[in-house]
Amino acid sequence: MHAHPDDESSSTGATIARYCAEGAQVTLVTCTLGEEGEIVPDDLGHLKPGAVLASHRLDELHAAARALGLTDYVRLGGDGRYHDSGMAHAEDGTATARDETTDTAFWNADLLEAALNLVSILRDRRPQVVVSYDPFGMYGHPDHVMAHRVMTYACVLSGVHGYRPELGKPWTVARTFWTTNGSDDMATIISTAKANGVTSLWGDVDLDGPLPPMITRSEDVDVRVPLGQYRANKIAALTAHHSQVDMTDPFWRLMTDIESLGESFRLATGVPLPHPSTDLFEGLELTA
């Protein structure tokens, strides 16, 4: 479950591509269409935030899904139910909510209503594993935070017998995970950046000191899915998000050029698994 288009590719692209290729049933739930987000390339400067940008980003999401081999992807509550809340910059460099947001912004969504929208999807698809953000939303984007809350709440409600039976038969998710970045991968990215003269990125990150919220000590990462053969899918999917991703930018190059990197996850709830693991489903019984 992701807040807006491109996060499915940037933080879980290889993971989605891998499980689709291995024949797992994968569903992507996107909460907003990123219609308040930054428009990166000059050639799309005519797109203005709002409905036009939403429709453009939905097209990009279709292309990214194709690149990942993903066929089942939906928007929470249906297209246009929740809008991008935008973000402001906090003094410490993380993101935070804007002072003013619209009534339909995801940040202002009623938590129960939004969770029930996800409960109907959970009870229909019956996933063993659900992935979303950590409580801080990786770097603080309000819609990431909201996605975390909605996912966490919905996974509780979904399993309760006799609760809202009109939304489907109860379903208990075996594991929930938070996306993160492992400190070992970040060390690789930072040293590669330095070696290539890129000083604008992560220059002030000290991996031996207190870590920023988007980085987790590698020993606390529960599952790391290597990019491996699915790195190409991830690159193709990110490239599809042309309105917000410039693949010539060192930030994206570093995230995708280094073959040894992986996508990292922390086990939030559910069945423990061997540590470290490379499989979100390790030890779970296959279901039909």
Residues in contact with Zn ion by the rule CB under 5 A: 3, 7
Separation between Cα atoms, residue 189 and residue 257, nearest integer Å: 10
Sign of the four-CA dihedral 276, 278, 280, 282: negative
Residues 231/258, Cβ–Cβ less than 8 Å? no
The answer to whether the beta carbons of residues 277 and 263 sit under 8 Å apart is no
Q: Which tokens hold the place of 113?
A: 């209503």
Q: Which residue is nearest to Zn ion (CB)?
A: 7
Shortest CB 218 distance to Zn ion, Å = 23
In the bound state with Zn ion, the residue whose beta carbon lies nearer, of 123 and 144, is 144
User: For residue 276, is the peptide bond before it cis, meaning its omega torsion is within 30 degrees of 0?
Assistant: yes
Q: For Zn ion, which is the closer residue by CB, 145 or 154?
A: 145
β pairing state of 95-96 and 88-89 = antiparallel
Smallest gap from residue 69 Cβ to Zn ion (A): 22
Return the number of the residue (3 or 186) whose C-beta is nearest Zn ion.
Answer: 3
Q: Which residue number, 128 or 132, has a Cβ lying nearer to Zn ion?
A: 132
Judge residue 34's burial from the number of C-beta atoms within 10 Å of its C-beta, 0-12 exposed, 13-18 middle, 19 or more buried: buried
Residue 155 CA to residue 171 CA, distance in Å, equals 8
Q: Minimum distance between the CB of residue 165 and Zn ion, rounded to whole angstroms?
A: 34
Report the residue number, 49 or 228, with the smaller CB distance to Zn ion. Answer: 49
Q: Min. distance of Cβ 6 from Zn ion in angstroms?
A: 7
Task: Give min distance, CB of 37 to Zn ion, in A.
Answer: 8
